[in-house]
Amino acid sequence: MRRVIAAAALAAVAGLAGPAAPRAQESPAEAARRKGLDTVLDLYVRDGLVYYRALRHDRAKLDAYVTGSAAVPVETLSHDEQMAFWINTYNAVVLRTVIDHYPINGHDKDYPPHSIRQIPGAFDRAKHRLGGRSVTLDQIENTILPTFHDPRVYFALGHGAVGGGRLRSEAFTPARLEAQLAKVRDECVNRPQCWWVDTTANLVRVSSIFSWHSQEYVAADADQAPATFAGRSPIERAVLGFVGPDLLTTEKDFLEHNTFKVTFKPFDWALNDLTGRGR
């Protein structure tokens, strides 16, 4: 599982995000650079799915955004600028990784044939020059983003897969970051890839993203679960705390019986492609 990172890799990038700089207005240069990514996402992302075939032929703005991310002095940015930068660059690099290999036709039997996981080393070996350093996608997700102590970010990452977060048709911005992340959490309850209540089977099926980042979810959300669930495991309480504010009344009524079983759904690595699932 790519979630497991060697201790040496962790040490190599420890402290990359560093202490958050004082909050500040987004620089005009960074705002202008991000506008290019905004345009790409607005044109080629619909309901979390991507027109990869069209983007492959109109990639100049995406390439310019990723290339321009190489020398951004991240340590000088405000807290919200840093968080928006790493979410946006992660998603942009995933898009570029896919179109670099599109159409994908792999033979690893552990994943769908048109999955981003058919690209060797896409997450754990391929290095990208971002923010003045060389990092992999896994290092961004597992080492840099945890320093912000906000697990909503993991559902802001598209992963290039149906099972990932719902990729937005806009970039994250420091001025609107809180509202955008609140929307990310709200959307979880309405996406079967994230949360699904099966009353017939007395099951609650949740995304494996919760288990991948269980430590962060427990720290942030376990205490938000109602007292009814005090006997549940920490990660179950964290999931219930995370989705609780947005549950339907019928779902709350079902959960209050506290007899349901929580299961983690296998992650769906099918490409989030709007034009033929990678063909």
Give SS3 for 181: helix
SS3 content of the chain, % helix, strand, coil (to 5): 50, 10, 40
How far is the C-alpha of 86 from the C-alpha of 34, rounded, in Å? 12
15, two tokens? 């402290």
How far is the C-alpha of 190 from the C-alpha of 37, rounded, in Å? 26
DSSP symbols for 129-151? EETTEEE-HHHIIIIIGGGG--G
- The series of mean pLDDT values per 10 residues for the chain, 279 residues long, is 41 44 65 94 97 97 97 94 97 98 96 97 98 98 98 98 97 97 95 96 98 98 97 98 96 97 98 76
Pairing of strands 133-135, 128-130: antiparallel
Per-residue CA distances from 55 to 30, 122, 252, 279 (Å)? 23, 19, 42, 14
Pairing of strands 203-207, 195-198: antiparallel
pLDDT score for 19: 44
* Nearest to 82, CA basis, from 139, 37, 128, 24: 24
pLDDT score for 25: 65
Q: How far is CA 110 from the centre of its chain?
A: 22
pLDDT score for 275: 82
How far is the C-alpha of 263 from the C-alpha of 18, rounded, in Å? 35
pLDDT score for 262: 98
pTM: 0.90
DSSP assigned state of 111: S
How far is the C-alpha of 213 from the C-alpha of 241, rounded, in Å? 15
DSSP assigned state of 197: E
How far is the C-alpha of 20 from the C-alpha of 105, rounded, in Å? 42
Pairing of strands 261-265, 203-207: parallel
Residue type, 82: Q
pLDDT score for 162: 97
- Which phi and psi angles does 195 have, rounded to 5°? -150, 130
pLDDT score for 212: 98
Contact 209, 267 (CB under 8 A): yes
